[in-house]
Amino acid sequence: MEVYKLTAHEVRDKIKNKEISSKEVTESILIHIEKTDPHIGAYVSIRDEIALKRAKKVDKDIADGKEISDLGGIPMAVKDNICTAGMATTCSSKMLQNFIPPYNATVINKIYEKDSILIGKTNMDEFAMGSSTENSAFKITKNPWDTKRVPGGSSGGSAAAVASGEAFFALGSDTGGSIRQPASFCGLVGLKPTYGLVSRYGLIAYASSLDQIGPITKDVEDCALVMNAIAGYDSMDSTSANYKKVDYKKSLVKDVKGLKIGIAKEYFEEGIDYDVKKQVLASIEIFKSLGAEVEEVSLPHTKYALSAYYIIASCECSSNFARFDGIRYGFRAQGYENIKDLFIKNRTEGFGDEVKRRIMLGTYALSAGYYDQYYHKALKIRTLIKRDFDRAFEKFDLLITPTAPTTAFKIGEKTKDTLHMHMSDICTVPVNIAGVPAMSIPCGFKDGLPIGMQIIGNYFDESTILRAAYTFEKNTNYHKERPNRR
């Protein structure tokens, strides 16, 4: 039995039935990583000993007859911008190469409470800036479906780890599509929850008003299990929503009858690959055939989302990244003349080009005389984009779009400039601007590469997304495909 090919809930069943122990699962995954990761490059750090120790503890609990959670004893991975106490958290940047947080992110505590086995931290675009995971200070992560291609980004390491069986599920973060786009490129389920549903405490901020942590899993059921573990109010995060606790397992219902689904028309216009479009529309037909009511809907301000995103994200990051000065933690340069020189050298040598570019844009846009022209205006555009969604959700339960305009592109294909790279985020960015939840699920293949469909829900209505996605999954086989590395 190739354990690594199973889903988390399948492994859970086997552990609960004592067919296999958590230690055995963990060991087999560690061996699989050893064989596979040299080709994929999903991880930036592994902590095998602690993982095995935790696995043994779970096995003992089971032997003692203790009830274990749905994610108990299951190896998983975490994007390296989520703080783990005592374990390096680098954001794949030279700046934080040696940074060991003295505290856990809230989601890490929650994952530990469920006794999941944290195997390691995954590679990413430096400070979550990028859409391909080529922009890491350490290495390029490859797409398990085709190692000449990118896994997407910025949570590319997390997606590649799950797709290649190096973890049963992973946590990523999504600021403009960084969970959904890599999930799409790697044939996985990726959910960006409603802004505020999952605590951001301990997530090293890129753009505070857009960032959200979410799961990357092999199927929809696993997504529900992870959401059960990580969602919920956190008093450490002032932007955390005090929303009623939902059991997402209850959303795993095979029924979309009467669901009103909107085809967001602006998301099918220029720039979207013909086959991607065709496959997503064909998938919508499946929903229709299962009893959903489908209709076209317009979200007229969609085209402005990318511009608003540039401004909001770069302004916030220019401020968020100012703290990286190399004094209390982080990269320290050699040979500086004075305090200002120290700041400049630490930052110039510690940050990669893309990070510096966005800091520059943000600093410029926030400067005196430009605030109204850029940030303030972007926040007003944000109001309009949010209203588009509010209006759409008065009529529809869900909106469906492609997740990304294309399938996974080749390594090196789009590294030249920021604008070009950002085009792969055009379908995902509006969702972050509005703060609504959205999921990418596999809905087909083009030339052996997965295509993702994005299902967008109303605020805090992850349940309906899960229900539709689950129904789709039960009527298709895309999620059962596993990559054969080539």
Helices (H), 96-204: 106-113, 156-163, 180-185
Within residues 246-305, the interface with another protein by CB under 8 A covers 301, 303-304
> Does 347 interact with another protein (rule: CB under 8 A)?
yes
**Judged by CB under 8 A, which stretch of 35-43, 247-255, 261-269, 336-344 contacts another protein?**
336-344
| 366 near another protein, rule: CB under 8 A | yes
Catalytic site includes residue 283: no
Taking CB under 8 A as the criterion, the residue among 94, 332, 391, 474 binding another protein is: 332
Kindly state the number of chain residues that form the binding site for another protein, as judged by CB under 8 A.
Answer: 94
β pairing state of 449-457 and 398-402: antiparallel
Q: How far apart are CA 462 and CA 330, in angstroms?
A: 37
Q: How far is CA 242 from the centre of its chain?
A: 22
Active-site residue, 178 included: yes
DSSP per residue, 408-439: PPBTTSS-S-HHHHHGGGTTTHHHHHHT--EE
CA dihedral angle for residue 317, residue 320, residue 321, residue 326, rounded to 10 degrees: 180
Between 277 and 356, CB nearer to another protein: 356
Tell the residue number behind the tokens 């000449």, with chain if given: 148
- SS3 at position 269: coil
Binding status of residue 327 toward another protein by CB under 8 A: yes
Site for another protein in 37-66 (CB under 8 A): none
Which residues are CB-contacts of 86 (< 8 A; sequence separation ≥ 6)? 100, 101, 102
Calculate Rg over the CA atoms of the chain.
21
Does 368 help bind another protein (rule: CB under 8 A)? yes
Based on CB atoms, which residue is closest to another protein, 244 or 328?
328
21, 22, 79, 121: the active-site residue: 79
Q: Does 188 help bind another protein (rule: CB under 8 A)?
A: no
Whole-number minimum distance, CB 138 to another protein, in Å? 18
Residue 327 beta carbon to another protein: minimum distance, rounded to whole angstroms: 5
- Interface with another protein in residues 409-468 (CB under 8 A): 417-419, 434-435, 459
Cα–Cα distance, 427 to 13 (Å, whole number)? 36
Residues written for the chain: 486
Q: Which is nearer to another protein, 380 or 395 (CB)?
A: 380
> Which residue is associated with the tokens 């020189």?
341
Name the minimum Å distance from CB 98 to another protein: 7
391 binds another protein (CB under 8 A): no
Q: Is 154 tagged catalytic? A: yes
CB of 108 to another protein, least distance (A): 10
Strand partners, 457: 398
